[in-house]
Amino acid sequence: MATSTLPVMGRIAAGTPIEAISEVSSHVAVPGTMLSGNGHHYALEVKGDSMIDAGINDGDVVVIRETSVADNGDIVVALVEDSEATLKRFKRSGTSIALEAANPAYETRVLPADKVKVQGRLIGLIRTY
């Protein structure tokens, strides 16, 4: 089975948002079959437990396909107010976007659509034990 090497672009918050990520911290090999569709792909290390009920744990590496659009229910990398990056479930309602955690300990953030930019959509997960 063919593999591809993706850049790991630092850490993404699955909890409290952290500053936007823009530099390569390492690389990770992923199965070629995971990289379906066109476009660029990258990986991020998860920090926090806000997506734990979606099976995404602190320390996991998520594989992201770059896109600026998302459907309701997609798990996305969202850039909030051009300064915070977070991994959350995306839900659009009218002119608002809800960024939902998958952990009842975290509140859903509802923001005006112009304050949220989708940076990519979750397509895979890598876990090391």
Query: What is the predicted pLDDT for the residue at 50?
Result: 93
Query: What is the predicted pLDDT for the residue at 19?
Result: 52
pLDDT higher than threshold 60 for residue 1: no
Let me know: does 41 contact 98? Beta carbons within 8 Å. no
The answer for residues whose C-beta is within 8 angstroms of residue 40's C-beta and 6 or more apart is 65, 66
pTM of the model: 0.84
Question: What is the CB neighbour count within 10 angstroms for residue 18?
Answer: 17
Active site residues: 50, 88
Percent of the chain whose pLDDT exceeds 90: 54
Query: What is the predicted pLDDT for the residue at 77?
Result: 93
What number of helices (H) and strands (E) belong to the chain?
0, 10
Taking the alpha carbons of 114, 120, 122, 128 in that order, is the dihedral positive or negative? Answer: negative
Read off φ and ψ for residue 19, nearest 5 degrees.
Answer: -60, 150
The secondary structure of residue 117, as a DSSP letter, is E
Q: Which of 4-18, 36-50, 91-105 has the highest mean pLDDT?
A: 91-105
* Average pLDDT score over residue span 108-129: 92
Question: What is the CB neighbour count within 10 angstroms for residue 87?
Answer: 30
* Average pLDDT score over residue span 10-26: 62
Query: What is the predicted pLDDT for the residue at 15?
Result: 58
Read off φ and ψ for residue 4, nearest 5 degrees.
Answer: -125, 155
Query: What is the predicted pLDDT for the residue at 22?
Result: 60
